[in-house]
Amino acid sequence: MQKTLLVGASLMFILAGLLWGGIYIAFDEPLAGAVPLSYAAVSLFSILLFGLTHHYRLFRVSQLLLILILPFLLQLALGGFVNSSAAILWSLICPFGALLIGQRHHAPWWFLAFLGLVIVSGLIQPDMHPTNNLPPWLVTIFFVANIGTVSAVAFILLHYFVGQESRFLGLLRLEQEKSERLLQNVLPKEIAAILKDKDETIAEHYDSVSILFADIADFTALSDELSPTEMVDLLNEVFSRFDSLVTKYSLEKIRTIGDNYMVVSGAPRPRPDHARLLARLALEMHAYVEEYQRNGRRLNFHIGIGSGPVRSGPVRSGDQRRDWPPEIPLRCLGRRSQYGQPYGKSQGVPGKIQITQDTYELLKDACICVPRGTVLVKGKGEMETWFLEGIKAGHE
């Protein structure tokens, strides 16, 4: 694009040089006319040489030198600033062009060269011949043309750079928003804000929270029946519905791994009704799964809720996942233990919502709970568990 722009600008300046040169010669200023005509000839040769050699650096430098020096020489030939209608203004296009065509780090030097020529022009002005053969009206027209054209070029370039800056800032904001959304999909927004502002380990303790764990019953057999694409589509459909329910109750999804779905209530925003909110979520999830049917196939989920104290934070440096050390016996309520080791389907009952004793104590006044009996939990021994069946009248 830079090469095309430079060639196009050079061709326009060649046409301007031919026009200017013809006018000067027509008004009996052959020396002044020779300057823009020489510019047109040398510039055309530079373009042809670039077309043959593809030596862009030589082409770029030669064009910048031409537009820097030729207006200065034209001003000398016409007798100074006023008589030339401030022709040296055209030299200002040189540092502007350097900014535009990929020599930003060289542009200040080109600008200093322009200032040097302006200073030299001022120093030798007293020695210039005071008049030339151009009529005053033509000098005025050239003043208007020179000031107007160079100002237009400056404005267009400034408008271009400001537009590019705005465009890049817009893209940067868009990417930042994408990163924000991605980070908040992985972490609670409060924790994401801390991680962005501080490079430190976060380990928080919560005295009382409830965590829901759900997974698909007979997931291995289901995986054998479905293709990978079908399985991904199924999980995406079901978990998207779960996500909408989590949002509805302003809870926090911890993670989704394979067919495992985990939600926390009471962290990172503590709330006294954490168990009741999670119970409502579990019942709506259960109702959705009960009605769900895809290609004649129905699903069964193990759903479990445990309550108690937890610690949470990134599990290692640079890891943006939150983890929840096993202070509450959670995963035993589903198909797996809290350490992820299989316990067999007797630990979790398909189509049922199983809760721990601690969760039962928080729910018994508002929810319908049926005792299941004791289950053996690795590392915890025997535990009383209950089935959550619904919400009691008056507590809906």
CA pair distance 326, 337, nearest whole angstrom: 10
What is the mean pLDDT of the segment spanning 353-364? 91
Do the Cβ atoms of 209 and 315 come closer than 8 Å? no
At 290-307, the pLDDT tens digits run 888 777 777 888 899 999
CA pair distance 303, 315, nearest whole angstrom: 25
How would residue 340 be classed by pLDDT, with cut points 50, 70 and 90? very low
What is the mean pLDDT of the segment spanning 324-348? 41
How would residue 333 be classed by pLDDT, with cut points 50, 70 and 90? very low
Q: Which two tokens stand for residue 395?
A: 């507590």
- Which residue ranges make up each domain of the chain? 2-169, 203-391
What pLDDT is stored for residue 183 in this prediction? 67
Candidate from 44-58, 111-125, 319-333, 365-379 with smallest mean pLDDT: 319-333
What pLDDT is stored for residue 331 in this prediction? 39
Long-range CB pairs of 54-58, under 8 A, 24+ apart, other chains included: 56/3
What pLDDT is stored for residue 313 in this prediction? 64
How would residue 211 be classed by pLDDT, with cut points 50, 70 and 90? very high
**Is 60 exceeded by the pLDDT of residue 335?**
no
Ranges 291-295, 311-315, 336-340, most confident: 291-295
What pLDDT is stored for residue 166 in this prediction? 84
- Largest Cα–Cα distance of the chain, in whole Å? 114
**Is 80 exceeded by the pLDDT of residue 25?**
yes
What pLDDT is stored for residue 194 in this prediction? 61
Distances (CA, A) of 384 to 274, 306, 307, 329, 359: 21, 12, 13, 11, 11
| CATH no., domain 203-391 | 3.30.70.1230
Torsion on CA atoms 141, 146, 149, 155, rounded to nearest 10: -130
CA pair distance 234, 215, nearest whole angstrom: 13
What is the mean pLDDT of the segment spanning 305-316? 75
At 243-274, the pLDDT tens digits run 999 999 989 888 888 888 999 998 888 889 99
How would residue 347 be classed by pLDDT, with cut points 50, 70 and 90? low
At 140-155, the pLDDT tens digits run 999 999 899 889 888 8
Residues in a beta bridge with 371: 386
Q: Is 18 exposed, middle or buried, given 0-12, 13-18 or 19+ CB atoms closer than 10 A?
A: middle
CA pair distance 68, 87, nearest whole angstrom: 11
Do the Cβ atoms of 92 and 114 come closer than 8 Å? yes
Q: Report the chain's mean pLDDT, rounded to a whole number.
A: 82
Candidate from 153-167, 234-248, 292-306, 325-339 with smallest mean pLDDT: 325-339
Cβ neighbours of 9 (radius 10 Å): 17
Which 8-state DSSP code applies to residue 379? T
What pLDDT is stored for residue 344 in this prediction? 35
- Nearest Cα residue to 65 out of 48, 43, 82, 49: 43
At 314-329, the pLDDT tens digits run 554 444 445 444 444 4
Contacts of 133 (CB under 8 A, 6+ apart): 27, 28, 29
Q: Is the pTM of this model over 0.75?
A: no
The percentage of the chain sitting over the pLDDT mark of 90, rounded to a whole number, equals: 31
Q: What is the 3-state secondary structure (H, E, C) of 332-358?
A: HHCCECCCCCECCCCCCCCCCEEEEHH
What pLDDT is stored for residue 195 in this prediction? 61
What pLDDT is stored for residue 157 in this prediction? 78
What pLDDT is stored for residue 330 in this prediction? 42
Phi and psi at residue 22, in whole multiples of 5°? -65, -40
What is the mean pLDDT of the segment spanning 34-49? 91
